[in-house]
């Protein structure tokens, strides 16, 4: 009889915490706990959210009658570590230290490994992370920014981008390594990646002032004006950082990080909401166009994914501008929870050895 592994997966995002239980690949429970901007922005640092997120996870599992002692492993979304290869990593003390310190910055995903480790430790079972947001496969030419002090960085929705690219490849009857695709993940942050034969050779840094603006991030900005703002004496470094991440994008223009709220505003006749929301789609389309150039026009599909891909109007705005490049495939939401479970299962089944984070 095949052994059944029960896996808890934990995926902290900027606007939500997603949790799921799998018996092998079979989902037993899956839920998204949304965190409105006013609830999440009261915490100063990401690590300050630890107790809050842990409590909602444990309460939700208990309400769903999940017996934690039956778990085989806990798998969390990996955060801002030093740049590493894709794959499944054991959560180690040095990883926890880097996640707590935020060696590459602050993002909700830093809590994935920490929460997984804390829950696993109580149960004496292993904790892993899979394809963290710092997976770095960028071509050397893509790292040059134009200012030698500032190299471009690969920080994006690696887990979901790779999972949906593999799904598209399978649907085309090909392997991920045989295709070129452009993936736009439309979540609390937005990343648009050029995938060439199984490697993400260029992608906007979704966290820090590159690419399209997003529900809670400012995206690429006019840098001269930004520099003047920084030295105006009106703002602290912390104020500016929050304007770029957390309180930028839709939050700054419309006071919400929730795409569905914006859709409601538009339905109620709010013209500013309509303009800003369409501008976000316009910027995504522009970024997809850049990736088409990176891939020299050889693109098997443009894939739209993430929470905002549920919105048909938003998808249409983008598709109208990019469908000349290739077919547009829409996978609303994400494949992250199953991708986390599969990463853990590969190690538990001995198909892969867990990588060690140095």
Ligand X SMILES: CCCC(=O)OP(=O)(O)O
List of residues contacting ligand ADP (CB under 6 A): 13-16, 187-189, 215, 257-260, 263, 306-308, 310-311, 334
| Cα dihedral 52/53/57/60 (nearest 10) | 60
Q: State in angstroms the smallest separation of the CB of 202 from ligand X.
A: 15
Q: Which is nearer to ligand X, 187 or 343 (CB)?
A: 187
CA distance 313 to 320: 10
Which residue lies nearer to ligand ADP by CB, 202 or 258?
258
CA quadruple 303, 305, 310, 311: dihedral sign: negative
Number of residues that bind ligand X (CB under 6 A): 13
Question: Quick check: 188 binds ligand X (CB under 6 A)?
Answer: yes
The torsion angles phi and psi of 84, rounded to 5 degrees, stand at -140, 170
Nearest to ligand X of 6, 195 (CB atom): 195
> Of 49, 257, 287, which is closest to residue 184 (Cα–Cα)?
287
243 binds ligand X (CB under 6 A): no
Residue 207 binding target from ligand ADP, ligand X, none, CB below 5 to 8 Å by type = ligand X
132 touches ligand X (CB under 6 A) = no
Closest distance between ligand X and the C-beta of residue 189, in Å? 2
Backbone angles phi, psi at 191, to 5 degrees: -125, 145
**Residue 263 near which of ligand X, ligand ADP, none (CB within 5-8 Å, type-dependent):** ligand ADP
- Give the count of beta carbons closer than 10 Å to the beta carbon of residue 174: 12
Q: Which of 187, 209, 211, 344 binds ligand X (CB under 6 A)?
A: 187
User: For residue 244, which of 214, 278, 281 has the smallest C-alpha distance?
Assistant: 214
Task: Check binding of 206 to ligand X (CB under 6 A).
Answer: yes
Task: Indicate which single residue of 107, 167, 195, 243 sits in contact with ligand X (rule: CB under 6 A).
Answer: 107
Q: Minimum CB separation from ligand X for residue 142, in Å? A: 17
Check binding of 189 to ligand X (CB under 6 A): yes
Which among ligand X, ligand ADP, none contacts residue 259 (Cβ within 5 to 8 A by kind)? ligand ADP
Residue 282: which H helix or E strand, with range?
helix 271-294
Give min distance, CB of 108 to ligand ADP, in A: 8
Least distance CB 206 / ligand X (angstroms): 4
Number of Cβ atoms within 10 Å of the Cβ of 97: 10
User: What is 122-168 written as a DSSP string?
Assistant: HHT--EEEES-TTB----GGGG--SSTT------S-HHHHHHHHHHH
> Which residue is closest to ligand X by CB?
189
């Amino acid at each position: 009889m095949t052994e059944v592994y029960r896996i808890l997966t934990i995926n902290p995002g900027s606007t939500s915490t997603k949790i799921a239980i799998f018996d092998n690949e079979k989902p037993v429970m899956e839920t998204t706990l949304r965190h409105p901007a006013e609830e999440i922005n009261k915490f100063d640092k990401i690590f300050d959210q630890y107790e809050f997120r842990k409590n909602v996870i444990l309460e939700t599992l208990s309400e769903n009658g999940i017996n934690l002692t039956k778990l085989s492993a806990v798998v969390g979304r990996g955060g801002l570590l030093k740049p590493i290869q894709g794959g499944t990593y054991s959560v180690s003390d040095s990883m926890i230290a880097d996640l707590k310190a935020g060696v590459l910055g602050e993002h909700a995903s830093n809590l994935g490994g920490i929460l997984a480790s804390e829950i696993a430790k109580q149960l004496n079972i292993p904790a892993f992370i899979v394809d963290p947001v710092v997976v770095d496969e960028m071509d050397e030419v893509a790292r040059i920014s134009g200012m030698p002090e500032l190299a471009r960085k690969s920080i994006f929705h690696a887990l979901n981008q790779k999972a949906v690219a593999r799904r598209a490849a399978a649907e085309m009857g090909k392997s991920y390594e045989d295709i070129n695709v452009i993936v736009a993940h439309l979540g609390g942050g937005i990343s648009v990646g050029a995938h060439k034969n199984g490697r993400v050779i260029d992608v906007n840094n979704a966290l820090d002032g590159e690419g399209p603006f997003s529900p809670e991030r400012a995206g690429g900005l006019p840098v001269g004006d930004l520099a003047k703002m920084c030295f105006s004496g009106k703002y602290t470094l912390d104020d500016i950082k929050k304007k770029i991440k957390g309180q930028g994008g839709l939050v700054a223009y419309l006071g919400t990080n929730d795409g569905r709220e914006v859709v409601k505003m538009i339905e109620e006749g709010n013209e500013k909401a309509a303009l800003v929301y369409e501008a976000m789609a316009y910027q995504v389309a522009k970024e997809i166009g850049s990736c088409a150039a990176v891939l020299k026009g050889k693109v098997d599909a443009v894939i739209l994914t993430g929470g905002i891909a549920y919105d048909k109007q938003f998808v249409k705005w983008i598709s109208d501008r990019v469908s000349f490049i290739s077919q547009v495939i829409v996978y609303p939401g994400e494949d992250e929870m199953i991708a986390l479970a599969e990463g853990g299962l590969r190690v538990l089944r001995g198909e892969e050895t867990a990588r060690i984070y140095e």
